[in-house]
Chain A
Amino acid sequence: MSPAGGRAPLEVSIKAKAYLSASGKTLETLREIAFALDKGKVGAIVGPSGCGKTTLLRIVCGLDTRFEGVIVRPDSGRLAVVFQEPRLLPWRSVEDNIRLAAPGIEEAELAKLLATLGLVEHRRHFSNELSLGLARRVALARALAVHPDLLLLDEPFASLDAATAGGLVEAIADLVEARPVTTLLVTHDIDAAVRLADVICVLSDRPARLLAQIPIPRPRRRLTPDAEAQIARQIAASQ
């Protein structure tokens, strides 16, 4: 997937990641995971739950540095993460949550972002008054407001009902299409991964290894249901 010559904006090469459990045993969570992501592309990490997807994401965004391997991030290195728990400041309004992360944001851009994500009427609400689905949208708005070179999404559709999750998938697809951002998406929702990603990395059960990298043909939003089903089968077969 990495182009010949030239460095991809995101290169992940993890030899091993282990941690000491509470009972004193060493548990290996990740082993031999290497992939790269070209500029402006969307990569999805799928795998069984509990296999270490979130650990992988924490390593990629630099929050976890205790692992063997190398991560190369985009040069200017502006990072944005949409955490699984939206991690908004509950004592600040939706608008303030976005402005605190992106102090320089123009009013017009903020308004557009809120409109795209359907948050206009919630602008002045405290963020703990929002439902999980809305809070995830605010977290997404905050992440995009900083104009990241690398966007990381950790299970953005978990614990949402199908309609809400579907709406969020569409919103992310629109936003990423309108302004390409190198994006890494962690999910166990294969349908969502197929709809959003340019390439899907399939992880095994713990300790997670990279089983397959499946490219998604473009234009991905016009895939027929048949083609989607075929990719889903391909993913299932590799697991």
Chain B
Amino acid sequence: MLRLLSLGLFAASWEIGALLAGPRNLPAPMEVLRRLALEAQSGALFFHLGVTLLRVAAAFTIAMAIGAMIGFAMGRNRVADRLGDPWLILLLNLPALVIIVLAYIWVGLNEVAAIGAVALNKIPNAIVTMREGARALDPQLDEMADVFRFSFATRLRHVLAPQLAPYFAAAARSGLSLVWKIVLVVELLGRSNGIGFQINIAFQLFDMTLLLAYALPFVGVMLAIETFVVQPFERNVSRWRPRAA
């Protein structure tokens, strides 16, 4: 209920803002909706949205898989941590734009470079979070699993995974928001389709209505993923914790 109220407040302030700023700077919500419907009818919206979401999914999956493995190794192994740390700091502090431009120059203006660049931007964050998770693993439970001779599969599923799940969820959540922001930049710089590409066109034409008509559905999809996938996952993995009063 509160969420709906907050959304209504957002729409109202947009309407008022549009009145004050004029349609050139901020088109009214209805105007944007009409344009959105038009783009949806032609199929262009779904095509570009689909392409962008595929890139988000690919980059996110690659980044989480690689980041989780490296992070786990660095959290468990001192040598790996020492060796990997300088690389990690370098990657963490390298601006996204530098990675994207370098990827396009070295690999070429293609899909591999685009997805690789996005993944590479996300990997260090995933590593840092998962490394914390691996460091926080309870050695007492490890010993217990040793004594009772848990099989590798049991250990993974019942001892390690539940301890790492909150860190994985945190990495996934921050990763998703990072990935979808960077995907648009990658598309703007070197792809000929996707939401980022459409926003580039809107920018060149100073077409605010088109820009918002593409940006809003994208935000909507991301909100839906957050609400219906990420949050239920977090709730599920922490259901054994006593509820806060």
Contact = CB atoms under 8 A, between A and B. Distances in A.
Contacts, number: 42
Interface string A78-92: 011101010101111
Q: How large is the interface on B (under 10, 10 to 19, 20 to 34, 35 or more residues)?
A: 10 to 19
A100 B154 contact: yes
Interface in A90-139: 90-92, 96, 100-101, 103, 126, 128-129
Interface stretch (B78-86, B145-153, B193-201): B145-153
Contacts of B154: 100, 103
Given A63-B143, A87-B141, A129-B242, A146 B158 contact: no
Nearest to A92: B158
B162 A61 contact: no
Nearest to A64: B143
Given A63-B143, A87-B140, A87-B141, A101 B240 contact: no
B141 A89 contact: yes
A130 B182 CA distance: 46
B148 A126 contact: no
B99 interface: no
B166 to A, nearest CB: 11
Q: How large is the interface on A (under 10, 10 to 19, 20 to 34, 35 or more residues)?
A: 20 to 34
B159 A89 contact: yes
A142 interface: yes
Contacts of A81: 144, 147
Interface of B: 140-141, 143-144, 146-148, 150, 154, 158-159, 162, 240-242
Given A92-B162, A92-B240, A100-B150, 5 more contacts: A80-B147, A85-B140, A89-B162, A100-B158, A128-B241
